[in-house]
Amino acid sequence: MPSAPGPRRLDSDGGSRDSLPVRPIATIHDKYVFSRRIQVLARELAAVIPANAAVLDVGCGDGNIARLLMAARPDVTITGIDVLVRPTTHIPVTRFDGVSIPFPDRSSDVVMFVDVLHHTEDPRVLLSEARRVARSAVILKDHCRDGVLANSTLRFMDWVGNARHGVVLPYNYWPEARWREAFHELGLATDEWKPKLGLYPWPFSLMFDRHLHFVARLSPAARGVTATPSSGTAAVSAGR
């Protein structure tokens, strides 16, 4: 397994050099978008998590989405890991290196990633680890770089949501076909794929929803196969 870069921030004050221009836009985002987004995400994720599951949330941030998810699904328990553990979190969080999930094989019912893998250099690294650790499912919310101006739109969304928090922004967005290719390569079967989530209120939805987001539930297709990507590193710091 490749070595991991350490947790990174883009500037010494915990923000980025983009902080000043991003602040007015971020204020609008926080006021009109953020609360709805995390509530919709919690609802969509709650719908695909198996009953009575113990969930490991990789790149969990402060655990706010996990908190809402458990409120909707009292049968579910969630713990988290992240490269940067915040001073206050809504769930128990363990620090990890951004590459190797620090738990044994088949130690969690579900491994979950929410807008995390596009912050890595190669999403297959952590997907492979998730397949190793999950007993029943890997649940993934991320982006698809499909459609007119998809890449530019996703870059803008990432910048607004994450630049001020010092989150690493490699802008590594895959089209749907590349996601499905990676799932097949790693021995993950697609049980559910939901491509339209309704995260944003009108009129923001016209630009920022489209088919740029998805939630997928994956299951290990063949436990006897060891699937490890040939190269690449991953660095995670979720800006939720």
The answer to pTM > 0.85 is no
Verify cis geometry, omega within 30 degrees of 0, for the bond prior to 203: yes
The two structure tokens encoding residue 180? 């499905």
* pLDDT, tens only, 134-179: 999 999 999 999 999 999 999 998 988 777 777 789 999 999 999 9
User: H or E element: which one contains 205?
Assistant: helix 204-208
Domains along the sequence of the chain with CATH: 19-220 (3.40.50.150)
How many CB atoms are located within 10 Å of the residue 85 CB? 17
Q: What is the pLDDT of residue 9?
A: 32
